A = this chain, B = another copy of it.
Amino acid sequence: MELRGKVLVAQGGGPTAVINQSFVGVVKEARKYSQVTGIYGALHGLAGIVEEDFVDLTKETEHNLEFIAQTPSSGLLSTRDKPDAAYCREIFKVLKAHDVRFFFYIGGNDSASTVSIINDEAKKSSYDFRAIHIPKTIDNDLMLNDHTPGYGSAARFVAQAFMGTNLDNRALPGVYIGIVMGRHAGYLVGATALARKYEDDGPHLIYFPESPFDQDKFLADVKRVFEKHGRCVIAVSEGIQDKNGVPITVKLNENEVEKDAHGNVQLSGSGSLGDLLSQLIKDNLNIKRVRADTLGYLQRSFAGCVSDTDQIEAREVGERAVQFAIGDNLDGSVAIVRTGDYSVDYQLVELKEVAAKTRLMPKEFINAEGNNVTDAFIKYVTPLVGSGLPEAYRIRAPKVPKILNK
């Protein structure tokens, strides 16, 4: 018998510029199915389910849905709650009471883990139920995905940011450090390479969580670039770690470091890593003008910097999730697969293949020195940031011959 019942959609973890595209994709696609008896949104992710805090999305206009799709950050609000067995029992009480039969959770690998747990609990309690994980993360670190919705827009943001700060650093030379998000994976910091156009453009150095960070090597790199160009622009992932896997921000920081429910150390929302690296350069290299910015939350929520490719794909993963769950009666996680240069398709993969796992940058995307991306990475990332990326231009006028022969 065809499964009939309500659709529930929710968002978990950190927001992205296009996470509402997926949410709206779910809602608009779900409206097409006669077996759907209602479409609810849970506020603040799982927490909203436990609290029975739902909005009735069948009473939302098409126009407003499209406006929300264009708005960054989670329109249904978010949570970092991680469910245990007791939490799941609470969730099922509510889902059953409202006859929710289709659940769509938009989030990263922690959210995939959540969907997997809920799915297992549903099976244990013989509740006929489809749960689908819809990917999103600016970190781009989900297994089996060529890339994840949210990454392209964040990559575009950091490219535009470094395009500007490279020009700034060229005008007023010195060392500039920009700290970029990315807990375990260097995909986002790698995208700063798209800021380059001319041979001497920065970022001149890029540091990844995947390549063990060594202070002496770092200082030697900076010294070499500064001696060559009279300036140095450096992109550093917040997640850089030493050869033993200890985050540099934990290693250099004297203060206590916060952890979330998933056991993740707080990396964002503080300028300390940038300031510590800045001090390291000042103390060791006799360079006067050293500046550090931490790009922070702007990377995932800035209003008005979005990849059109990312927007479309985020919408499509939401649509396809509904088609898999309601049309095909399947569970799983929707993954983006690259099928051409450039084209993608969507596949349903096992939740357990994505849940709580982290995809790192492959070796062929990072140079042997561990301080730059490769051409293979540039080829990989270029289509993801979308069309119309700004471009920097320089004066080509010739030098005037000196008269005073200085």
Interface size class of chain A, counting residues whose CB lies under 8 Å from the partner chain:
35 or more
Q: In the complex, are the beta carbons of A164 and B400 less than 8 A apart?
A: no
Given the interface pairs A77-B170, A393-B71, the reply to whether A400 lies near B40 with Cβ below 8 Å is yes
CB distance from A225 to the nearest CB of B (A): 18
Contact of A395 among B14, B68, B406 (CB under 8 A): B68
Contacts A14-B172, A161-B302, A275-B271 given; does A397 touch B55 at CB 8 Å: yes
CA distance A40 to B346 in the complex (A): 56
Tell me whether A390 and B297 are in contact in the complex, defined as CB-CB below 8 angstroms, given that A55-B397, A56-B399, A292-B269 are known contacts: no
Question: Interface-forming stretch among A93-101, A352-360, A374-382?
Answer: A93-101
Residue of chain B at shortest CB distance from A400: B54
Q: A257 on the interface (CB 8 Å rule)?
A: no
A396 touches B172 (CB 8 A): no
Given A168-B15, A396-B60, the answer on whether A291 and B269 have CB atoms closer than 8 Å is yes
- A167 and B73 contacting across the interface, CB-CB below 8 Å: yes
- B302 adjacent to A160 (CB under 8 Å): yes
- Nearest Cβ in chain B — how far from A291, in angstroms? 3
| Set of chain B residues within 8 Å of A53, measured between Cβ atoms | 399
Q: Tell me the complex Cα distance, A391–B70, Å.
A: 9
Task: From the candidates B52, B64, B274, name the one contacting A402 in the complex (CB within 8 A).
Answer: B52
Least Cβ distance of A165 to chain B in Å? 5
Known contacts A56-B397, A291-B269; is-contact A73 B164 (Cβ 8 Å): yes
Q: Are B164 and A60 in contact (CB under 8 A)?
A: no
Question: A67 at the A/B interface (Cβ < 8 Å)?
Answer: yes
Interface residues of A in 188-245 (CB under 8 A from B): 195
Ordered by A's residue number, 29 sampled pairs between the chains whose C-beta atoms are within 8 Å are A14-B172, A40-B400, A41-B397, A44-B171, A52-B403, A52-B406, A54-B400, A55-B399, A58-B397, A59-B397, A60-B397, A70-B393, A73-B171, A75-B395, A97-B404, A98-B403, A160-B304, A161-B303, A163-B304, A165-B301, A167-B301, A168-B300, A168-B301, A269-B291, A269-B292, A271-B271, A271-B293, A293-B296, A295-B298
Residues on B with beta carbons closer than 8 Å to the beta carbon of A399: 53-56
Digit string of A311-349 for contact with B (CB within 8 Å is 1, else 0)? 000000000000000000000000000000000000000
Q: Give A195 to B304 CA distance when docked, in angstroms.
A: 12
Question: With an 8 A cutoff between CB atoms, is A176 at the interface?
Answer: yes
Q: Which residue of B lies closest to A72 (CB)?
A: B164
Is A272 among interface residues, defined by CB-CB distance under 8 A? yes
How far is the CB of A23 from the nearest CB of chain B, in Å? 9
A contact set with B: CB distance below 8 Å? 11, 14-15, 40-41, 44, 51-61, 64, 67-68, 70-80, 93-94, 97-98, 160-161, 163-165, 167-168, 170-172, 176, 195, 268-272, 274-275, 278, 290-298, 300-305, 389-400, 402-404, 406
Contact B164 A302 (CB under 8 A): yes
In whole angstroms, how far apart are the Cα atoms of A94 and B61 in the complex?
68
A270 to B293, CA, bound (A): 6
| Cβ-neighbour of A303 out of B160, B268, B298, B303 (below 8 A) | B160
Residue numbers in B under 8 Å from A78 (CB-CB): 171-172
Distance between A362 CB and nearest chain B CB, rounded to angstroms: 29
A270's contact among B97, B292, B406, by CB below 8 Å, is which? B292
Query: CB within 8 A of A168: which of B73, B272, B292, B396?
Result: B73
Q: Is the CB–CB distance between A395 and B56 below 8 Å? A: no
Contact B390 A303, beta carbon cutoff 8 Å: yes
Q: Is the CB of B168 within 8 A of A297?
A: yes
